[in-house]
């Protein structure tokens, strides 16, 4: 596989034809259960190499014709198996302590990835729900250790740097202050804030920010990870309860690249709950995917009210 660049937009595309071989929702056998060939026994969280990786240390040099830009698809694709229990619905169904273990494992893996000069970006994400194409329902997240900075993050970096240069402050710190003082605020702890942003693109979108101005997951301390586990548990539980049936969502960590000086940036999690209030799935169709303009049938303020109600029936995320 190779990573090609769209010269018209700057987007990177990972061309990985071997991914076609991956199994789709096998009913009888789960590769992430204890005792499966790659898992063994006696673990509570496991990071496995993805068997159908989009990037790998063995990727060949890309063919280039001198016009198009391509880079070697070097890196690692990993699966974060979050629990030995196959039948749990979601991350939020795990005890807070278990979610904390998951986050610590991811942080450790990132520290390892940061020492690999071929890896420029650590992308941690989680897809939830068969409706959005999840092929294995055993609770898991994923990691892509990439040789390029994803374009959406690159855009955020640019805007944050511009703001920092112009005003001498962090754009994201200013956003967090605004949002925390608004009706869209969901939770605020000693270390973290969660809110539905003013600029939400999805029907039930939540952003989770550390109050401390940090750029990388590896800068977070144990206390911060412990509270983050509680906040994610509460927010994901609220999404599950918001419209009467478990909401498919995408969750992605936005952080700085592993190399370079990005002190103007501020890491955060973005969670996109994809059901409308009536329980119908919102697609990213022509306007969204083709033009990059999102349309919302509800307001972020409504979504925040709905999520706050749902939160009331969830375990408190913060002590």
Partner in contact with 22, chosen from ligand UDP, Fe ion, Zn ion, none, beta carbon below 5 to 8 Å by kind: ligand UDP
CA pair distance 54, 37, nearest whole angstrom: 21
Q: What are φ and ψ of residue 281, in 5° steps?
A: -75, 135
* Element spanning 193, H or E: strand 192-195
* Shorter beta-carbon distance to ligand UDP: residue 113 or 303: 113
To Zn ion, the closest distance from the beta carbon of 44 in angstroms equals 33
* Shorter beta-carbon distance to ligand UDP: residue 57 or 260: 57
The answer to whether residue 173 forms part of the interface with Zn ion (CB under 5 A) is yes
Which 228-287 residues touch Fe ion, going by CB under 5 A? 254
To ligand UDP, the closest distance from the beta carbon of 131 in angstroms equals 12
CA pair distance 206, 243, nearest whole angstrom: 15
To ligand UDP, the closest distance from the beta carbon of 168 in angstroms equals 41
The answer to whether 47 touches 112, Cβ cutoff 8 Å, is no
The answer to whether 241 touches 90, Cβ cutoff 8 Å, is no
Kindly give the interhelix angle for 222-242 and 300-312, rounded to the nearest 10 degrees: 100
CA torsion angle 38 51 12 133 (round to 10): -90
To ligand UDP, the closest distance from the beta carbon of 38 in angstroms equals 7
The answer to whether residue 211 forms part of the interface with Zn ion (CB under 5 A) is no
Nearest C-alpha neighbor of 173 from the set 267, 254, 261: 267
Partner in contact with 170, chosen from Zn ion, ligand UDP, Fe ion, none, beta carbon below 5 to 8 Å by kind: Zn ion
In the complex, which residues of this chain contact ligand UDP (CB under 6 A)?
Answer: 22-23, 31, 50-52, 79, 127, 133-136
The answer to whether residue 263 forms part of the interface with Zn ion (CB under 5 A) is no
Q: Which chain residues interact with Zn ion by CB under 5 A?
A: 170, 172-173, 213, 266
Q: Which chain residues interact with Fe ion by CB under 5 A?
A: 254
């Amino acid at each position: 596989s190779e990573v090609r660049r769209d010269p018209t937009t700057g987007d990177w595309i990972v061309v990985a034809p071997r991914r076609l071989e991956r199994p789709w929702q096998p009913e009888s056998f789960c590769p992430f259960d204890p005792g499966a060939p790659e898992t063994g026994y006696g673990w509570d969280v496991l990071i496995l190499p993805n068997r159908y990786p989009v990037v790998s240390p063995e990727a060949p040099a890309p063919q280039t014709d001198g016009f198009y830009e391509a880079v070697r698809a070097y890196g690692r694709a990993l699966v974060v198996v979050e629990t030995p229990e196959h039948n749990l619905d979601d991350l939020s169904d795990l005890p807070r302590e278990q979610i904390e273990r998951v986050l610590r494992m991811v942080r450790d893996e990132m520290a390892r990835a940061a020492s690999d000069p071929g890896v420029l970006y650590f992308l941690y994400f989680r897809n939830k729900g068969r409706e959005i194409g999840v092929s294995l329902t055993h609770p898991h997240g994923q990691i892509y250790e990439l040789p390029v900075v994803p374009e959406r993050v690159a855009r955020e970096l640019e805007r944050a740097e511009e703001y920092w240069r112009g005003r001498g402050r962090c754009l994201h710190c200013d956003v967090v202050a605004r949002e925390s003082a608004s009706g869209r605020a969901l939770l605020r702890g000693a270390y973290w804030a969660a809110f539905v942003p003013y600029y939400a693109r999805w029907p039930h979108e939540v952003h989770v920010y550390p109050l401390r101005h940090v750029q990388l997951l590896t800068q977070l301390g144990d206390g911060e990870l412990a509270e983050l586990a509680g906040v994610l548990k509460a927010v994901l539980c609220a999404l599950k309860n918001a419209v009467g049936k478990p909401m498919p969502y995408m969750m992605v960590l936005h952080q700085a690249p592993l190399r370079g000086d990005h002190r103007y940036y501020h890491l955060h999690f973005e969670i996109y709950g994809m059901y409308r209030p009536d329980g119908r799935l919102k697609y990213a169709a022509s306007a969204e995917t083709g033009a990059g303009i999102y349309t919302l049938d509800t307001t972020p303020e409504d979504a925040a009210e709905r999520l706050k109600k749902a939160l009331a029936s969830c375990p408190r995320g913060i002590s």
